[in-house]
Amino acid sequence: MDEKKTAMIFKAFCDENRIRIIKLLRLGEKCACQLLEEINVTQPTLSHHMKILCDSEIVVGRKEGKWTYYSISEKGVEQAKECLRILTTLDVVSENKSCCEK
């Protein structure tokens, strides 16, 4: 996975309000109006955060009439976990030249 995509995924978890939103979605699908009641931001700001969360694919939105329902995407979460796993697993196969020997 390229660096741009990786950064995009983890942007979901880089803002305190987005983390609060994700925590609320752990409880199940919620519509924007319900999130708005619990997060202390204006409606356009919430909308902005929901866009970033959806772009990261951690959250998915579902339109139904005039409401939009958001929930945590299992697929997106698995992608993030896999991405984190790969990024942080030591690569013991590739050689690694030591440097700066005294």
Partner DNA sequence: AAAACATATTGACATTTATCTATACAATGC
Partner DNA sequence: GCATTGTATAGATAAATGTCAATATGTTTT
CB of 93 to DNA, least distance (A): 25
SS (H, E, C) 28-91: CCEEHHHHHHHCCCCHHHHHHHHHHHHHCCCEEEEEECCEEEEEECHHHHHHHHHHHHHHHCCC
Pick one of 11, 41, 57, 61: the residue that binds a second copy (CB under 8 A).
Answer: 11
Identify the DSSP state of 8: H
**Spatial distance between the Cα atoms of 11 and 8, rounded to a whole number of angstroms:** 5
Amino acid at 69: Y
**Binding to DNA by residue 57, rule CB under 7 A?**
no
Residue ranges binding a second copy (CB under 8 A): 3-4, 6-7, 9-11, 13-17, 19-20, 22-23, 26-28, 30-31, 33-34, 58, 65, 67, 72, 77, 80-81, 84-85, 87-91, 94, 96, 99-100, 102
Residue ranges binding DNA (CB under 7 A): 11, 14-15, 17, 31-33, 36, 40-45, 47-52, 61, 65-68, 100, 102
